[in-house]
Amino acid sequence: MEEKKFDVQSLIGFILIGGILLWMLYTNSPSEAEVEPQQETEQVEVPGNTDANQPPPQQNQTPGADSTALAQARERLGAFGYSASLPSATENTTTISNDVLELKIDNKGGYISEARLTNYKTFDSIPVYLIKDGNASFNINFTTTDGRTLDTENLYFEPEVTQNGDNQIISMKLKVSENEFLEYRYVLKPGEYMLDFSIRSQGLNNVFNSSRDINMNWQLKGYRHAKSISYENRYTDLIYEYDEGDDDYLGSGDFEEQEDENITYVAYKQHFFTSILLTDTPFSRGKFTSRNLVEDEEIDTVYTKDFAAQLPLELNGGELNYNMNWYYGPTDYKILNDYDRNLDEVVPLGWGIFGWINKYVFIPFFAFLSGVLPSYGIAIIVMTIVVRIVLSPVTYKSYLSQAKMKVLRPEINELNEKYKDNAMKKQQETMKLYSKAGASPMSGCLPALMQIPVFYALFQFFPSAFQLRQKGFLWADDLSSYDTIAELPFNIPFYGDHVSLFPILASIAIFIYMMMTTGQSMQQAQQPGMPNMKFIMYLSPLMMLFFFNNYASGLSLYYFTSNLITIGIMLVIKYVIIDEDKIHAKIQENKKKPKKQNKFTRKMQEMMEQAEQQKNQQKKK
């Protein structure tokens, strides 16, 4: 995904991971000295509907339309006054559904007034609605040739329900006459979250004012579906595709606004559920806004964000003709990716190499494990074990470098004492010692850096894994949300009103790991200009404890398991594989051999010697 912004929460997580890895780098390198109620429905028969298992479309009737409202409508509609006199000009809805999605389309405005995902429930066992009780609107605003401005959301469409095989079709027509109309056409297929949608006009070339913009406006307030509204809101965002394959997102600020050209889809992502509008004919431009509706998690408990998109429509021969699609369904990577329309970018898997690792390694591997193992929690543990085993050579290299530096420390301390008044000479002699001994501080840094893409990729993977939603393990009833072992009678800033056990276990494991990797470095005095690594050693587990208390318990389970395995691998390396006496003997043997310097080392030494000479000459003057 091409991203112009970096999400703040992701940045915090990245800093947390970076702090842990910084500790690893520090311990592997020398010091400076070293280096609403539903309406009742009446069923309307659909011609040709012979499938007994397929529920027929329904039309909701509200008898007795208010005559005053209709009179006012006729006055507003002008050229479209004919539509207000039709029998359809009442607050009626038409229902279509398949085995995964149920939609209700309102005569007024001709848009979807209710979208329910039939196979999913919210955290409190309520059906998942993406549209309900007026949280969404869809409007085409245009000016007529006689100077009037009209909004389709205020006008009444006439529904016509048909069926083509198993496909259910609703034609909503806003009529001037029988042969002059604006039509919305919906086609719902069996088992699909994606439905066909088209906008076309007939006989209105003398009605539309071609010199004025025709704007299509789509707005939606995202309903809360998860236990933690702040955590869900963190992954609620507006994403759009532009310029034939590029994509961008608005971010998680209180108010975000953005414009782009050649728009091919707009997605309102509500963490695990998404509403998407796609078009075959790109919109020439688009203006997008996102407003955060959660200022206080204790008070703002219904909606997450308010999204809006303004997209211009262009006339073709004086008429409108757009083929589009609506998607109302889960933010599931597999489902979205199978449509082959770049919708997988709606799932936040990370940018660059992080996204690549998730798409081609972790997603297929986790799908395989979750398909053969009895529990998603066990699948996380097994995947963690495999990842740590694959990275074990890196861990070995890192620990071997630590062992070499530990063996050399007495000699480095001698050099520090001998040249304590000459920093340049001390650095030269330290480099010579490393070169003769065959040790390199960078050999410990590089393995730690190599682990960053894996750590961050998994940091993005677990919060986006739809498969974990409402899947329990041990005391956690939902691996996609936080686990709870105790409810607090008050709210702690940045921590919450509950206690999660997995983050506590992960923090303890990280602290033990850091204690193991300190060696003797913590006993040395803090060098000027160096970060206080002892402070970082205590801060990182504490940050883990606070930051992950409201995060997905699946992610905390991964970090806990990962650090336990790392601790075990390091103990095996330390007490079984690595013999420090042998390392010391080998270093002493290497020091006796003539060591051929590479060009870089030789050049660095020459530069240091020249600097030393210049310094001595200045002293003589």
Whole-number pLDDT of residue 616: 63
Question: Alpha-carbon distance 96 to 536, whole Å?
Answer: 58
pLDDT score recorded for residue 313: 94
From the number of C-beta atoms within 10 Å of its C-beta (0-12, 13-18, 19+), residue 610 rates as exposed
Instruction: Please give the single-letter amino acid code of residue 66.
Output: D
Please answer whether residues 243 and 100 qualify as being in contact, where contact means their C-beta atoms are separated by less than 8 angstroms: no
Residue closest to 426 by CA, chosen among 608, 615, 613: 608
> Which architecture does CATH list for 49-348?
Distorted Sandwich (2.70)
Q: What is the pLDDT of residue 274?
A: 96
State the pLDDT at residue 412. Answer: 74
Return the exposure string of 571-593: e unless at least 16 CB atoms fall within 10 Å of the residue's CB, then b: eebeeeebeeeebbeebeeebee
Numbers of helices and strands, H then E, in the chain: 17, 21
Segment 529-558, tens digit of pLDDT: 444 556 666 777 787 788 888 888 888 898
pLDDT confidence of residue 617: 65
Rounded Cα distance, 117 and 129, in Å:
6
Write out residues in the chain with pLDDT < 70, as ranges. Answer: 1-89, 402-404, 433-448, 450, 517-537, 578-621
Q: Give dist(CA 429, CA 441) in Å, integer.
A: 15
- Would you state the pLDDT for residue 588? 63
* Residues 537 and 23 sit within 8 Å (Cβ to Cβ): yes
The pLDDT assigned to 82 comes to 58
Position 435 scores a pLDDT of 67
What is the reported pLDDT for 270? Answer: 92
**Number of CB atoms found within 10 A of residue 219's CB:** 17
- pLDDT value for 415: 73
Is the Cβ–Cβ distance between 570 and 395 less than 8 Å? yes
DSSP 228: -
**pLDDT, tens digit, for every residue of 134-169?**
999 999 999 988 888 999 999 999 999 998 989 999
What was the pLDDT predicted at 147?
Answer: 86
Report the alpha-carbon distance of residue 612 to residue 353 in Å, rounded.
43
Q: Please tell me whether residue 268 adopts helix, strand or coil conformation.
A: strand
The closest of 456, 462, 5 to 247, measured between CA atoms, is 5
Q: For tokens 């905390």, what's the residue?
A: 556
Mean residue pLDDT of the chain comes to: 78
CA-CA distance, 178 to 613, in Å (whole number)?
A: 97
DSSP secondary structure letter of residue 360: I
> pLDDT (tens digit, 9 = 90+) per residue, 302-351?
899 999 999 999 998 889 999 999 999 999 999 999 999 999 999 988 87
Q: What is the pLDDT of residue 46?
A: 38
How far, in Å, are 31, 117, 592 from residue 58 at the CA level? 75, 17, 90
pLDDT at residue 35 in the model:
40
Q: What is the pLDDT of residue 285?
A: 93
